[in-house]
Amino acid sequence: MSSLFPALTGGDGSAADRPALRFGERSLTYGELAAAAGPVAGAVREARRVAVWATPSLETAVAVTAALLAGVTVVPLNPKSGAGELGHILSDSAPDLVLAAPGQDLPDALAGLARLDVDPADRAPGALPGDLAGGRADDEDPALVVYTSGTTGPPKGAVIPRRAIATTLDALADAWRWTGDDVLVHGLPLFHVHGLVLGVLGPLRRGGSVRHLGRFTTEGVTRELSGGATMLFGVPTMYHRVAEALATEPELVEALAGARLLVSGSAALPVHDHERIAAATGRRVIERYGMTETLMNTSVRADGEARPGTVGVPLPGVELRLVEEDGSPVAAYDGETVGEIQVRGPNLFTGYLNRPDATAGAFTADGWFRTGDMAVRDADGYVRIVGRKATDLIKSGGYKIGAGEIENALLEHPGVREAAVTGEPDADLGERIVAWVVPSAPGAPPTLDELAGHVAARLAPHKRPRVLHHLAALPRNDMGKIMKRALRHD
């Protein structure tokens, strides 16, 4: 029954005047956050699960904090979700109500759900009600259900217990020397683990503060890092944009040089971008490796060697091993022998909501989680990710996207008779989504704009194809299975 946020629930008021959250011009101290979250927590306390319309805003941060104080599970919704994806998430997670900013337009899919407006200006000063301050939930209770894509089918809801959040954030505090004196800046979305758990709950657990950029820009990074922020979190696409801007933005170079810690995650940071940032600023970006289902597994430590191209060493409490195809441990940690990463520890989720089959398939009999990531490990423990087991998972801009869900959406378009989706290298996004389509009417094939709009409206804009190829037929093997390796554009 321990509190996730000691600085909010401590009761002695020592942190009350310290800054907690800042979004644009609006900010809250710990005292103000407790006063804003208290009434919301009181209003949701009888609910089992609430959805939060997770715009990058103060309202979202207050809503999530309040629900967690009340011991209620949060389902963060991507506010750009299309109708199909939103419908699936709502019917799968069955929230009791949706929390949103006052005046926020919500799509029809949410019309049948009770709504609670969260207004950070609506405050009940004073200490939190006693039972909230003490923490109402058990450590094993679910805190979040975060939807994540698989190779096929719609996204699955990863059930993340309170214990995993506390454990992962405390392990990162150890690895990064992260304290209440740190001021974090980022522009990450708040419906995934990176932006929400690390980027908002992280500073709140430490008693420090976060300044959210609303949307990522290098100008915003410069402004905040030269105005008191100490840490930057981002996906590799953001660091790539930073690296590109260094030559023309000398203030950015200076701001980065003065930061305490620059952290990249959610996908591999290309060594070239790493080196460009190091050469210009003298600072090395630290990489950490995580997953929605496992939260954080490894990191380069603040006091360790930043070896570019590696994701560092296992975090305290995390067991990590590399296994062969048959599940046996690889013969050697020699920096060359490749195996699948499996992890075990208190940072892990408890399972996929309503999907016991998928949950069972994700774990070995003795509780190791199969990440699907392929890696080598040096003798001194450093892990280097070299690829992914499933070619049908695409990482674009740090978002994980399943080829199957895009193929299904494309097939719902009347102009598409057959469809296959692949990822191809992209300097900015890491990978970009490519659609290979056999048109229903060869004389009038659907355009890229049409199909991108179609996928964005059903799933989400980041899942839209960025390249389209029309084909007369898809390459198939004797079994009729599409041979994606044969899909190459010359």
Q: Which stretches of 393-478 are DSSP H helices?
A: 403-411, 448-458
Q: Smallest distance, Å, CB 132 to ligand MCA? A: 28
Q: How many residues bind ligand MCA (CB under 6 A)?
A: 25
Taking the complex as a whole, how short is the minimal distance between the CB of residue 367 and ligand AMP, in angstroms? 18
In angstroms, the CA 363 to CA 293 distance is 11
Q: Which does 148 bind (CB under 5 to 8 A by kind): ligand AMP, ligand MCA, none?
A: ligand AMP
| Site string (427-466) toward ligand MCA, x via CB under 6 A | -------------------------xx--x----xx-x--
The set of residues, in sequence order, having a beta carbon less than 8 Å from that of 66 and lying 6+ positions away, is 36, 37, 38, 40, 41, 44, 118
In order, the DSSP letters of 347-408 are TS--EETT-HHHHHHHB-TTS-EEEEEEEEE-TTS-EEEEEES-TTEEEETTEEEEHHHHHH
Out of 21, 164, 252, 291, point to the residue binding ligand AMP (CB under 6 A): 291
Q: Work out whether 292 is an interface residue with ligand AMP (CB under 6 A).
A: yes
In the complex, least distance from residue 487 CB atom to ligand MCA, rounded to whole angstroms? 22
- Whose Cβ is closer to ligand MCA: residue 192's or residue 211's? 192
Could you say which of 98, 100, 311, 330 contacts ligand AMP (CB under 6 A)?
311
Hey, which residues between 186 and 225 contact ligand MCA (CB under 6 A)? 188-189, 192-195, 216
Residue closer to ligand MCA, measured from CB, 30 or 399:
399
Contact 185, 200 (CB under 8 A): no
Contact string (CB under 6 A) for ligand MCA, positions 228-267, x = contact = -------x-xx--------------------------xx-
Q: Which of 218, 237, 347, 371 binds ligand AMP (CB under 6 A)?
A: 371
Q: How many residues bind ligand AMP (CB under 6 A)?
A: 19
Residue closer to ligand AMP by CB (options 6, 372) is: 372
If you count them, how many residues does the chain have?
A: 490
- The verdict on 145 binding ligand MCA (CB under 6 A) reads no
Q: Which two tokens stand for residue 37?
A: 């979250």
Contact characters 178-197, ligand AMP, x per CB under 6 A: ---------------x----
* 364, 342 Cβ separation under 8 angstroms: yes
Helix 271-281 vs helix 250-257: angle between axes, to the nearest 10 degrees?
90
Residue of minimal CB distance from ligand MCA?
397
Nearer to ligand MCA, 324 or 449 (CB): 449
Query: 3-state class of 443 per DSSP?
Result: coil
Q: Which long-range contacts (CB under 8 A, 24 or more apart) does 87-95 make?
A: 88/154, 88/155, 89/147, 89/155, 89/157, 90/51, 92/154, 92/157, 92/353, 92/354, 93/49, 93/51, 93/145, 93/157, 93/353, 94/49, 95/47, 95/49, 95/50, 95/51
Compare residues 31 and 314 and give the one whose CB is closer to ligand AMP.
314
Are the beta carbons of 51 and 98 closer than 8 angstroms?
Answer: yes
362: CB partners within 8 A, 6+ apart: 293, 351, 352, 369, 370
Choose from ligand MCA, ligand AMP, none: what does 19 bind? Cβ within 5-8 Å by kind.
none
Answer yes or no whether residue 93 interacts with ligand MCA by CB under 6 A.
no
Provide the terminal-to-terminal Cα distance of the chain, rounded to the nearest Å.
59
Beta-carbon contacts of 488 under 8 Å, excluding residues fewer than 6 positions away, are none
Determine the interface stretch with ligand AMP among 19-27, 136-144, 263-271, 374-382 (rule: CB under 6 A): 263-271
Interacting residues toward ligand MCA by CB under 6 A: 80, 188-189, 192-195, 216, 235, 237-238, 265-266, 290-292, 397-399, 452-453, 456, 461-462, 464
Interacting residues toward ligand AMP by CB under 6 A: 148, 193, 265-268, 287-292, 311, 371, 373, 385, 388, 395, 400
